[in-house]
Amino acid sequence: MSLTIYGPPQSRSMRALWIAHELGLEFEHHPGFGEDGASAALLAVNPMGQVPAIDDDGFLLTESMAINIYLAKKHALLAPKSLEEEAQTLRWSFWAMTAVEGTLLDALKKSRGLMGVTQDVAAARADIESLDRPFRVLDAFLADRDYLLGDEFSVADLNVASVLSWAAPAGVDFADRPNVAAWLSRCLSREAAVSARG
């Protein structure tokens, strides 16, 4: 059996690399891109030319959140243990993608002048301010628990924390969201997370 993960760690592929390290999986890592953009190997797995993508012994899958939930459930580690936990895992994964990721990525690009975007600190600050409501919701949810599904780190935490890993580089200060700050620190300081970032 062989697993190949496509995409550089500085992309959403960090999420797939993180869970592979958490699960202790042996895998091949392929950057997915060459000088001319998406490589032929990546395009064979994902014709969209986007990362992450995986080839798990012939099973091809794209989309970071789907990849992570699939790997967690396949290996029965970090996976939800009930229908309710699965629903919460999906809830928070979708929340991260729809309520936070796009705006946070925009803030990161504007604050640093990345990916062809002109640096505009004021615009980045406005993006960050627009995330106050979702961050407030997450902070309240974490008020009486260490992790999203309770007392143990799970794929739900990994998925959401991987999106929020862009917060500090974008200039987000969680000083007024102490539950988020503590939870995010617990997640991102895990050995597997550090390994995934390279």
Overall pTM > 0.85: yes
How many residues does this entry show for the chain? 198
115 touches 128 (CB < 8 A): no
Signed CA dihedral, 189, 153, 8, 57: sign only? positive
Longest dimension (CA), the chain: 50
Contact 127, 106 (CB under 8 A): yes
Q: What are the tens digits of pLDDT across the range 95-151?
A: 999 999 999 999 999 998 888 889 999 999 999 999 999 999 999 999 999 999 999
pLDDT of 139-186, one tens digit each?
999 999 999 999 999 999 999 999 999 999 999 999 999 999 999 999
Inter-residue contact 158 to 187 (CB < 8 Å): yes
**Of 45, 78, 171, which is closest to residue 119 (Cα–Cα)?**
171
